[in-house]
A = this chain, B = another copy of it.
Amino acid sequence: METFGKRYHPPGTPPGTLSRHGAETANATRISLLEYSDSQFSETLSPTPEQCRIAQQNAYVDWLDVTGVNDPTAIRELGETFGLHPLALEDVLNSGQRPKIDFTEHHAFLILNLPHLVGDEILLEQVSLFVGKGHLLSFCSGDGKAFEPVRERLRQGFGRIRSRGVEYLLYTLVDVVIDSGFPLLEDLGEQIEDLEERVLENPDKRILNTLHQLKRDLLLLRRALWPQREVISRLIQHDGELVDETLRPYFSDCYDHAVQIIDLIETYREMLSGMLDIYLSSLSNRMNDIMRVLTVIATIFIPLTFIVGVYGMNFTHMPELHWQYGYFGVWGIMIALAIGMLIAFKRRKWL
């Protein structure tokens, strides 16, 4: 899970200062411009500012797709070309932002978190989206692979995507980001069910670490995904022309998915905290079993050991020692005592 990296300027820096903070991403910045209409599609890698300016004005839908955000100069240039607010650009560069939505004069600006599994670890990719008239800019802090199916659908002209406007493209991307939570939560869900079985049947020490790891993952996942519900809700309710009547069901569906994900996270968290209780109880149950056996064995033998100690004393005058059946008598007493104690323990349900 991504740790809490520096995501701030030193206090007192002028606002909108562009320098890249956030975890070092190995992904090189790759900018491509996808232009399409119902019947046409073109893709330009590393477009010039001039090409961008033309794209903004023509009738095509333009998607400027940036992956691997670590080139402040290129970002600043794009910002100037498209008239983006410097504070928004600052947020794009400093990955690790809280999901949010802002409306400026010309753009709606969304920040979302796209969680995905890399090996056992959950990585959060920050996706920043600017939607303006006829164009959309997307910035992924990671490798942007999650958007590949969308690019392919545009290239192939598959489905309705090319026949609809930039708002539908926005929906498509938001949908990809939100739905990326599902396979991840399914994976966590399976881990939790495994753990649950182990807790009940065979509680051991490694469970604690797994439990702690899962709890932490869910905590940080909740922190990253919780605000996305609010973001989509405000997107739907915004009374610009962004989400019209025909798109409403699509974004509604996105909203339902965001709620479902939060719901799952909360349910998992409650299951985990219930499991810790069960684990501790199981442990203490097992401990009690062991202790009870010790208690019984010790409690039976301690008096017996005392008795044999008595007749191990070397006093000159110990009449019992010389009795004919003294030894067997002592055995008799000891066996009677042991049986008596066993019965007493059984009655008190200690055995």
Write the residues of chain A forming the contact surface with B, with a CB cutoff of 8 angstroms.
3-4, 6-15, 85, 87-88, 91, 97-98, 100, 102, 104, 146-150, 153, 158-161, 171, 175-176, 179-180, 182-183, 185-186, 189, 193, 200, 205, 208-209, 212, 215-216, 219-220, 223, 249-250, 252-253, 256-257, 259-260, 263-264, 267, 270-271, 274, 276-288, 290-295, 297-299, 301-306, 308-318, 320-327, 330, 350
Contacts and interface: CB of A to CB of B under 8 A. Distances in A.
A6 B267 CA distance: 16
What 7 A-B pairs come out closest when comparing CB atoms?
Answer: A12-B149, A308-B309, A14-B159, A311-B313, A11-B179, A8-B182, A315-B327
B209 A200 contact: yes
A92 B113 CA distance: 28
A303 B313 contact: no
A292 B6 CA distance: 43
A270 to B, nearest CB: 6
Contacts of A279: 281
Contacts of A312: 308-309, 312-314
Contact of A249 (B87, B185, B250): B87
A285 B283 contact: yes
B4 A186 contact: yes
Nearest to A325: B317
Given A294-B298, A308-B309, A11 B183 contact: yes
A326 to B, nearest CB: 5
A153 B14 CA distance: 8
6 contacts: A15-B175, A15-B253, A293-B299, A297-B299, A315-B326, A316-B326
Interface of A is mostly: helix
A14 B205 CA distance: 45
A245 to B, nearest CB: 8
A36 to B, nearest CB: 15
Nearest to A152: B12
B98 A290 contact: no
B263 A180 contact: no
A91 to B, nearest CB: 8
A10 B186 CA distance: 12
Given A284-B283, A309-B309, A219 B271 contact: yes
B290 A284 contact: no
A185 B96 CA distance: 15
A231 to B, nearest CB: 12
B3 A215 contact: no
Contacts of A146: 11-12
Given A9-B179, A97-B260, 9 more contacts: A10-B149, A200-B212, A208-B278, A212-B278, A280-B281, A290-B295, A297-B299, A309-B312, A312-B313
Contact of A322 (B208, B259, B306, B316): B316
A5 to B, nearest CB: 9
A321 B314 contact: yes
A156 to B, nearest CB: 11
Contacts of A153: 12, 14
